[in-house]
């Protein structure tokens, strides 16, 4: 029942199917009451200058903390939200330049599976017509043909075709997600965006749905962009993995290469945070310091720098590793105002064991401690930020590097200045 595709219009296996170049999405303020009180608000920079390629037949996993922009990126690629800047090419055609009927016809080849299997299905409709709906919208088949294909696809995704006339409420979460998968397959797409499709499911059901998706990928020649925050799920289904933080990609590599040879501190922290059966045997889980900054006013340079445990020390001060770690700990606690100020000497003993950094760095620490004793926390924070955090190369330049691979054949990209030769030579070991 499936419609055939013209062979010479398809990319060959392994050739680029989707190319994203500099994709950016900013959300303007709503212009409501707060705008009138505080003046014009800055835009929310949800996705910023993201570029990657997905080859035909592969699965690119996209992982990151909640709120990092993964779903917004997916919707911008499909133009469910309009990109602010950048281009998206699908099979060589610029999706961002299409409108009207051109965009509508192209959407037959690019489909999406949403996170919540309950809210993404109309509770008033039966699952058969739900699966048929995209075919009907694109004028595919007559009514008998659509019903036959819907029943065929229900069986393909592991459901009973006899359930064609049941409503979504009669099914479990995993079964509903299979209905969503059948609906996405109904128009015979080339590319499917999977936006956390198994997050709401039990672990055992997750495995069943993932295995079904992999078998269907082989059978139908599908290409996936698979979004998740669960690293074990990403490892199970992906060929390559992209790691996203605060609207930007920080690392992109083949799956085994990224898991066995992570090169960005954020990726390393994510991997260290994976729960283990017995933490007493496996060691402690990684915990990142600080909170995720606001996408309205993200940090300059590397966006991860405000939480990075490997922030590079400013060259101006020639600090030892211990001096830099103590100085950074002092800065973090001053920002949080987490201690009671007493005297300068007690503050310096608390953070530096009585041994302040030498030279100008020590004089800045002494000045900051004096301001804290005088109750000027804001002044101390500003002084330390300007003198140390903002003088790091991590704050002054946006990082982007290709690093040597150990377990892969395709390029390994990591957005961390620690891979810059002249910076690496100056890092205190």
CA distances (Å), 116 to each of 191, 244, 406, in order?
20, 21, 37
- CA dist., res. 311 & res. 29, Å (int): 32
Strands (E), 292-369: none
**Domains in the chain, CATH or no CATH each:** 7-31+41-238 (3.40.50.300), 315-391 (no CATH)
What are the φ/ψ torsions at residue 123 (nearest 5 degrees)? -65, -15
- CA dist., res. 271 & res. 274, Å (int): 6
Cβ-based neighbours of 395, under 8 Å, separated by 6 or more: 299, 300, 301, 302, 305, 389
pTM metric for this prediction: 0.87
- CA dist., res. 187 & res. 379, Å (int): 61
What are the φ/ψ torsions at residue 13 (nearest 5 degrees)? -55, 130
**What is the H or E stretch that residue 266 is in?**
helix 265-272
**DSSP structure class, residue 264:** S
What are the φ/ψ torsions at residue 353 (nearest 5 degrees)? 50, 35
402 forms beta bridges with: 413
Q: What is the pLDDT along the chain (429 residues), one digit of tens a residue?
A: 333 333 344 445 578 999 999 999 999 865 554 444 455 678 999 999 999 999 999 999 999 998 999 999 999 999 999 999 999 999 999 999 998 888 888 889 999 998 888 888 999 999 999 999 999 999 999 999 999 999 999 999 999 999 999 999 999 989 999 999 999 999 999 999 999 998 878 888 888 889 999 999 999 999 999 999 889 899 999 999 999 999 999 999 999 999 999 999 999 999 988 777 766 655 556 667 777 899 999 999 999 999 998 999 999 999 999 999 999 999 999 988 989 878 999 998 999 987 889 999 999 999 999 999 999 999 999 999 999 999 999 999 999 999 999 988 999 999 999 998 766 555 543
252 torsion bin: left (phi>0), alpha (psi -120 to 50), beta (else): beta
Residue 386: predicted pLDDT: 95
Residue 360: predicted pLDDT: 94
The three-class DSSP label of residue 296 is coil
* Dihedral in degrees, nearest 10, Cα atoms 68, 73, 75, 77: -170
Token match 């957005």: residue? 415
Residue 118: predicted pLDDT: 82
Residue 279: predicted pLDDT: 61
């Amino acid at each position: 029942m499936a419609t055939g595709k013209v062979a010479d219009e398809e990319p060959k296996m392994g050739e680029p199917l989707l190319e994203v170049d500099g994709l950016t999405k900013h959300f303007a303020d709503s212009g409501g009451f707060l705008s009138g009180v505080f003046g014009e608000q800055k835009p929310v920079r949800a996705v910023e200058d993201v570029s990657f390629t997905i080859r035909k037949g592969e699965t690119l996993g996209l992982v990151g903390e909640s709120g990092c922009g993964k779903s917004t990126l997916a919707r911008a690629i499909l133009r469910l939200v309009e990109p602010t800047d950048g281009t998206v090419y699908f099979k060589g055609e610029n999706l961002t330049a299409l409108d009207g009927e051109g965009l509508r016809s192209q959407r037959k080849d690019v489909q999406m599976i949403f996170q919540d299997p309950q809210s993404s299905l109309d509770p008033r409709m039966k699952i058969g017509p739900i699966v048929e709906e995209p075919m009907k919208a694109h004028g595919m088949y007559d009514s008998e043909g659509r019903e036959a294909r819907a029943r065929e696809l229900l069986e393909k995704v592991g459901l009973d075709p006899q359930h064609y006339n049941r409503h979504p409420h009669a099914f479990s979460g995993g079964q509903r997600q299979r209905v969503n998968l059948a609906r996405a397959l109904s128009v015979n797409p080339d590319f499917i965006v999977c936006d956390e499709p198994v997050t709401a499911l039990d672990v055992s059901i997750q495995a069943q749905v993932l295995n079904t998706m992999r078998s269907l990928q082989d059978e139908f020649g599908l290409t996936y962009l698979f979004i998740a925050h669960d690293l074990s799920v990403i490892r199970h289904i992906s060929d390559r993995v992209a790691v996203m933080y605060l609207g930007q990609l920080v690392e992109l590599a083949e799956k085994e290469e990224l898991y066995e040879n992570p090169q960005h501190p954020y990726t390393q922290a994510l991997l260290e945070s994976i729960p283990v059966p017995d933490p007493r045997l496996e060691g402690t889980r990684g915990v990142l310091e600080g909170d995720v900054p606001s996408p309205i006013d993200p940090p300059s340079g590397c966006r991860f720098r405000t939480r990075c445990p490997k922030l590079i020390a400013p060259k101006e001060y020639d600090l030892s590793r211990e001096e830099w770690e103590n100085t950074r700990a002092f800065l973090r606690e001053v920002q949080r105002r987490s201690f009671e100020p007493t005297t300068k000497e007690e503050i310096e003993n608390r953070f530096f064991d009585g041994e302040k950094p030498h030279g100008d760095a020590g004089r800045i620490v002494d000045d900051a401690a004096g301001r804290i004793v005088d109750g000027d926390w804001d002044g101390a924070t500003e002084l330390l930020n300007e003198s140390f955090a903002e003088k790091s190369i991590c704050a002054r330049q946006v990082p982007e590097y290709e690093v040597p691979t150990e377990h892969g054949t395709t390029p390994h990209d990591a957005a961390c200045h620690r891979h810059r030769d002249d910076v690496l030579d100056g890092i205190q070991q």
